[in-house]
Structure 1
């Protein structure tokens, strides 16, 4: 269904195969994937985001397996059969608490994916090859470089440290890798909230908000939000909306689109009976943010209890169980999608009040901790939003530029004095 109101975003899910989880990519079973995608389409969504594993695609620095590329194309075709568009992530990378790094970067061959010229060149070649494998599929939305690869920074025990400039070089090298790109396809990158909330993290907000065709945000309340405020508190159910608005502060294009690429209902914070309400309120809040491109729920299917060693929350994040039965969370998600498309939920309106984030000469936040749960800027924004204010976020550089403020439509500024304590974190 195509909504008539352009403010209605796309809705989709992050696809976790019902059988063998992401290990399905070692040898795709078309019958399994077809059943999964048909069940996903039954939720009323229009797209899936998929995650072929990096070591499967590129087990050697100079080997990109054609069979693996063919499997990516096959899954794209199966999605089309189900009436779904598809976005493909390339560098997996980090996924659900596990790292998937090819042997040519670890152990006796230890290298750095962000800084070694040969590794950067190899990854760029992989991005180009994956794009070529699916570029002619009419249901292709585009590529994301990888899933939260900023997690390969400290404190990851296998960290591959990089400077902010080296990260920028890595991002631009891979974003520019697809050849003769169709302008209808989007090329993006994704990070977890360390980019927004952790001082000294080499991935910085301007990377997210200025590189790639749109900004992606991943919103998880297990980052301390639920612990500090409560899982169904305004701060928790508006966390995704907050991240969308926070990302806009650092964009140079005032109309830059934002993709809420991951948001889910973690069992470590929510009882199963609370998950439908959390989904409903979270999506409703996010819909009020202007320039929202899509809401892509994490995730389609539960992880099978037959698979060992995942954190417990991973086994219950799905909208569907491993037999493709729709869970209560999935039913409510589908209802909210339908409500949004028929105009039954409030949609985006202009944001005229700007909470100011102090930045340095490179547009880096003076204190990213102030933006995190428990931080002063985070708290002030949520306080104003709960009062009904049409509140967004601007940098101090934008606040000092009348033309930039006018382009954002901001007519009132709110400044925050902050020397916040380190916020609670529960990762």
Structure 2
């Protein structure tokens, strides 16, 4: 496609314009104005024309069939569910699969996404991940988006403009010629968005974000069914938690197999990166530490000084870290071997903070069992190559079979 050409407006371009994603709408929304605050937008995201002498009572603006509302882009409308979706970040690919539309994903970053989702959903019959071979590198160019020709880009344009060779005009061009943007990256841990997008930027939970994606796919009922399972899971967790004084101290870490790099993450921070740890209310062993960004590098001596009751080791059910070798290295390390969590065999495997709703359900159950075995049943452990344990129905903190049925459309 000639990037400098002026193609005839397509359905997707016209809908993107009505959604406020071209210069008039997207930029106004990012300056803190919601779609309702602009003179030409209505509450359902359609655009109304100024009355003319030729208008008749029978002329109305069609109401879009699939509409989402999300900061920073505002209202996005499609006239049919998207079939070619650029996801980039893993949580959106998880969402599409949860909604039964995994085949729509044409690109996702991180090739470990599919194998991690495989681990958690191994007990689901006939669950397929059609986007497993559609992974790409971190970041993307405008030329790549033209090649993919997506009708929806599930990426926060505020984040995109922090990448090389992207600015606001590029954002508008893609929305106008290909398809709209929808995403909210900085709700990951309620980080500060770029200054030019900060005015009016709002934060959302993982499941609020999922709800808006479901709306564009026309899958609100399926979303509601999954959200009900999630609500029940959180209720079960809240009801079963011990008193705060009886909860363990926990270090949430990213540890390389050879222990050469140890990074600390916040355990109970706001944002969807902590959607599976925060509800469990454990005591962050490094709760008094402050730092900028998502990670802070620490050494083994600092870890021993904090000496947590348990360690949650990120990425260890993925291909990124050899969990068995890593835990053996901790036992062999002169400092690591002194850790209470190592001595008590309480170093636990974890998946990814880049979780969508499916991973979130399983990771919440997994972590609850790891941190509170007396209350929620013991976690059986993990060895390289394992799949998620097949708990008996009375051991499950949510109904695994019900989730599989919802994905399959039986709800």
TM-score normalized by structure 1? 0.26
